[in-house]
Structure 1
Amino acid sequence: MFTFTLRIPEELHARLTAQVAADRRPLDAEILHLLEITLDAVKATTNRPDGDSSALLRRGSHSPPARRPGHPARKRGGARGQRVSASLGACCQRVFEVVGRSLVLLSRDVISDETRAALGPLFPGVKATGRPPVDRRAVVEATAWRFRTGAPWWDLPERFGNWNTIYKNFDRWSKAGVWARVLEQVQEMAHQGGDVEWIASIDSTIVRVHQHGATLPRDTWARSNYKKFGDEPADHAIGCSRGGLTTKSHLVADGKGRVLAFILTGGQAADTTMLPDTLDEIRVAGATGRPRKRPDRLLADKGYPSKANRAWLRERGIATTIPERDDQIAHRRKRSGRPIDFGDEQRQRYRGRNVVERCFNKLKQWRGIVMRSDKTVRNHHSGQCLAATLQWLTSGVSVTP
């Protein structure tokens, strides 16, 4: 199949936008007539030796190779299988396939128009003087597309503009902490609306590090002249575990499976030692007063029931639902004292711990997160912040002040 760009006249933009709201919908006769003319030009262009293109067409990146002398042109039947990319305004270009009398939507934007409108005010403002800035919507949409698909930056579609410009803006916002602040602002709006459920769950998961993301010098305790990258950790949160080079994400989710806080470490880091650091990352501001940093109750599995963790949680008044391991239970039976209460009521509460697993499931649908190809942990952290932000917004959180 070939990819072409169909330049839709301005008067047809509104009509085509309404027509392609669904994946399959019959088109108006005027639009069909325009498509038939275009597809006839496609077939005529691909069969011409000089490869001259029609005034309505611009060849995409998947155009067929030039026909060698002495080889007959390949026959193509009908319009089925031809792909057309329609421009529906700035930062909105979608690819369709002609099937019968309908257009089939092949690619769609990662961020909906409603979510994009909600995200707009949360990002830095545009300077009134100086060089014309890049459209922030294009940067956010391109970043979401890149982490959603896991593609390299240089493979960004042309509709987003120059890939290097998009990457530089993403990296600049990452260094300034913009992506993390946007997540905090969305959490703040949800907290003010009473939408945060403070029965939190904690767990961790590992992601494999692609070879493209493991090329920076790392502190492997075998060299003394490694490079430093600002606040970047010396090991770039890349460690060795049974899965090879991995990064571990320690995450706290609220009772509805949305991200409250997370930190990234090397894959060999133990879960139990990272519990205090992970919970210290919770910071959800309210309308007045100090930001909230403690959940009402914490649910965790058998990877966290250490004596130090229970004492740390007890000092901060956080109720826990953490089952003990078999060796800890056997050790308690040999000593006098009150055993850990894990009766029917605690078992009923523990059933809600799976929300953090469902949170990981949603985040790992983004291929740029489940397979880390970013060299710095800062950029990988920013991509996960964007995915978590969209997770909050798509869960029905109101961002209206």
Structure 2
Amino acid sequence: MARIEPLLPDRTPRPGRRWRDHRQVIDAIAFKYRTGTPWMDLPTHFGSWKDRPQPAAEMGRRRHLGEGLHRPARPGRRRRRPRPGRRGRLHRRPGSPARRRGPSKGAPAGEPDDHALGRSRGGLTNRIHLAADSRCRPLAFVLTPGQTGDAPAFPEVMARLRVPRPVDRPRTTPDVVLTDKAHSSRAIRTPLRQHGIRAVIPQPSDQAANRKRRGSRGGRPPAFDRETYKRRNTVERCINKLKQRRGLATRYDKTATICLAGLHIAAIFIWSAR
């Protein structure tokens, strides 16, 4: 509790009201996302439900939320695996404010107009893009509408990577990046190569066929380490840990800010358990 207390809102109580203990607030938020219970249906021993979404949103707005829990990284040792998006199911409830377009009255600062909701083959959904390290621990999250592709969100995921070190500023460039075929493009491989990051990305069959068809003008095939790529399953296992929480496996939150806060809070518990 002492490690995450600096990340919580100010302890100063509002006039006329007693301040709830931080531990009770964190327990209520953890219970909500573990069970998928609506905020207003929280058990009474957690206190008033109206005091819970605001701390969750405050924690979610801080991109450096998990930095206090990350163990200092030794230079050259940490590997991160940016992950393509995963579509999240949306709780279908008639008249849900999550379906409304445009800015909402009283929405948190930074809330997108579409609330990170969009139409895809599965209907109205959102998409979670994340990066994980070699121990199945999440490092960064990006929430986009369901119709968003994997590749467009890749630069933003990479921009949010920050791993503290004992000295100097946090590290933002990994040694190697493992992704799937959706990220096999010149727009992604070139920046990684310019920053000295080794890309382990399989090439789709259509790209390989097009290169062979062009002959010598097609150039050499990109390097691919098949043995290293086998360790990309750590990202899948990280996603499985997040999906064990019913409140994240299905999106019940109306705003993207609260939904992103739930992902960050789940990351806190994953990091603190290891």
Taking structure 2 as the reference length, what is the TM-score of the superposition?
A: 0.88
Q: Which residue of 1 aligns with 2:8?
A: 123
8 Å CA contact 1:123, 1:182 repeated in 2: no
**Greater mean alpha carbon deviation, residues 239-248 or residues 117-126:** 117-126
In the alignment, the residues of structure 1 paired with residue 37 and residue 9 of structure 2 have an alpha-carbon distance, to the nearest angstrom, of: 26
2:140 is equivalent to residue 261 of structure 1: yes
- Structure 2 partner of 1:312: 191
* CA distances 1:207-235 after superposition (whole Å, capped 9, x unpaired): 1111359524315xxxxxx5574311111
| Counterpart for residue 65 of structure 2 | 182
The CA deviation at 1:278 is 1.1
CA distance in 1, matches of 2:200, 2:189: 10
RMSD: 2.5
Contact 2:85 2:149 in 1 (8 A): no
- Determine which of 3, 23, 26 is the counterpart of 1:137: 23
User: Which structure exhibits the higher relative contact order, with contacts defined as CA atoms closer than 8 Å and separated by 6 or more residues?
Assistant: 2
In 2, the alpha carbon distance for the partners of 1:129 and 1:324 equals 57
CA distance in 2 between partners of 1:315 and 1:193 (Å): 22
**Structure 2 residues not aligned, in runs of 5+:** none
In 1, Cα distance between equivalents of 2:82 and 2:157: 11
CA distance 1:339–1:191, shift in 2 (3 Å) = same
> Could you say if the C-alpha distance between residues 278 and 302 of structure 1 is closer, same or farther in structure 2, counting changes exceeding 3 Å?
same
1:155 aligns with 2:36: no
2:238 to 341, 359, 381: 359
The question of whether the paired residues in 1 share the 8 Å contact of 2:56 and 2:262 is answered with no
- Give the deviation of 1:167 after TM superposition: 3.4
Name the aligned partner's letter for residue 210 of structure 1: H
Aligned mates of 1:162, 1:280 — CA distance in 2: 37
SS of residue in 2 equivalent to 1:268: coil
Q: What count of residue pairs does the alignment treat as equivalent? A: 266
1:87-102 maps to which residues of 2 (within 5 A)?
none
* CA distance, structure 2, for counterparts of residue 144 and residue 197 of structure 1: 28
2: CA distance between counterparts of 1:255 and 1:168? 33
How far apart in 1 are the matches of 2:29 and 2:13? 24
1:218 aligns with 2:104: no
Shift of 1:174: 4.4
The code of the aligned residue for 1:146 comes to K
Determine which of 331, 338, 353 is the counterpart of 2:220: 338
User: Structure 1 regions of 5+ residues with no counterpart?
Assistant: 1-115, 220-225, 396-401
Query: Tell me, what secondary structure is at the counterpart of 2:72?
Result: helix
Quick one: structure 1 residues 372 and 288, their matched pair in 2 at CA, closer, same or farther if it must change by over 3 Å?
A: same
In structure 1, distance between residues paired with 2:14 and 2:89: 43
Residue 162 of structure 1, CA deviation: 1.7
Q: Is the 8 A contact 1:208 1:247 kept in 2?
A: yes
Q: Secondary structure of 2:134's match? A: coil
Structure number with bigger Rg? 1
In structure 2, the residue matched to 1:205 is 86
Q: Structure 1-normalised TM-score?
A: 0.61
Deviations 1:3-23 (CA, angstroms, capped at 9, x unpaired):
xxxxxxxxxxxxxxxxxxxxx
